[in-house]
Amino acid sequence: MTAPSLSLRSNINLQYQSPLFSVLPAEIRSLIFKYALTDYEDITTHMSYDRDTYWYRPGYMAKRRTATELLRTCKRIFQETWFLPFALAEHCFYLTNTARAPSEHVTVARMKEYLTTLRDFARNQDGMEIPQIERIRVFAQMFVLEDSPRLQEVLDMEGFQPKHITITLRYTDFWFWEHNSPIHIDAKWVNTVRFPKSVATISMDFEMVDRRKEEIDYITNLAVDKWFFRRADGIVFKANKEDIKTSRWTGSSTLGDARWIRDESRTNEIDYYVKTVTWKPVPEFDPFTGGGDGCPNLDIPHDFPRQTPPFGRMPNVPVDDLQYLDCSDNLSAQQVYDSILGMDEEMWEEAMSEEEMSEEGMSEEEMSEEGMSEEEMSEEEMSV
């Protein structure tokens, strides 16, 4: 990718015949341009995400797109808006394994290439600087987030100047969510990551299934009280409980080729509970006053009253098993659970019956023909 050689300051028709430039104030025109060039979910059929994926969620139910047709209307508009698609888009990074992210998404390598192109183009325009990015979002599984250099690599890209950063921890990003383990978030990355000087706010989304919302309430209150973030220039960010926001959404209970009946709020659906905490700069705040030694891990106490989840023996059912049993999508979690248990018992009884009939009807001669000695038969019975 190379930067275009177009100069924005030569041979421009000022377009005064258009009310857009001759009548409307620049401030109103700027608002119109921002509205037109802000990215959005492209929910056309071929751009929508499958509802059963790990990355389908509010704001990300389809690939995000910016309609750039406006920039091709005339040179005057291009001059005023060329940087807006980059500045206004929510640049999203997935610090996850490949199965937890859409096939096409922003990577550090691609963003570095894009930043180089923008920098070259901006410098051709009488030394202009790369525009500041309004916001970025990072989806991170815990095992990657706790490897702090991975996040720092995103934040340290040359020319990368985000204003607002959101880190989203989805339900399936937490350690051992499959086993319904208590929430644990290691603070190593909090104590070591340094955010760019351009950052004005740092937010974190803490998401959990609705039946475990009390755990998220506890963890977010602890994060507000105990966690702080630091910028590269030393400015410290602190959170207030007044800035916590709560949201909810409903997604599919099928994730990773299995239907998670344990977590269903209703047939085929999981209700999610999300708390968003925002940290803001507090220049006068010194977290180490009184001998502080950094931020602690966030953990649910051992005596915390946690609900016992349903279907403990079978938190999920593989989609293949549901298809094998011809289970309708309309079956409730309890009906699916009963169907699978019924299948297991019937298959076990059928297998035992066939084995007993086979052993009873096999003569010594047949055993010999099978190449199985009496001693070998005895050993096999012991192994069973």
The full DSSP string for 28-91 is HHHHHHHHHHS-EE--SGGGBPPTTSTT-BTTBSB-EE---GGGGS-HHHHHHHTTHHHHHSEE
The pLDDT of residue 376 is above 80: no
Q: Given a cut of 50, is residue 134 above it in pLDDT?
A: yes
Tell whether 258 is covered by a domain: yes
- pLDDT at residue 89 in the model: 92
Range of the domain at 193: 19-312
Do the domain assignments include residue 287?
A: yes
pLDDT of 194 over the 80 cut:
yes
Residues whose CB falls within 8 Å of the CB of residue 174, separated by 6 or more in sequence, listed in order: 142, 181, 183, 184, 185, 208
Residues 305 and 204 in one domain: yes
pLDDT above 80: residue 167 = yes
One domain, residues 298 and 350: no
Parallel, antiparallel or unpaired: strands 317-318 and 254-255: unpaired
Q: Is residue 361 part of a domain?
A: yes
How many whole angstroms separate alpha carbon 362 and alpha carbon 372?
A: 11
Can you give the pTM of this predicted structure? 0.84
Q: 39 with 158, same domain?
A: yes
pLDDT tens digits, one per residue of 35-50: 999 999 998 878 899 9
Is 254 within the bounds of a domain?
yes
271 and 356: one domain? no
In terms of domains, do 66 and 102 share one? yes
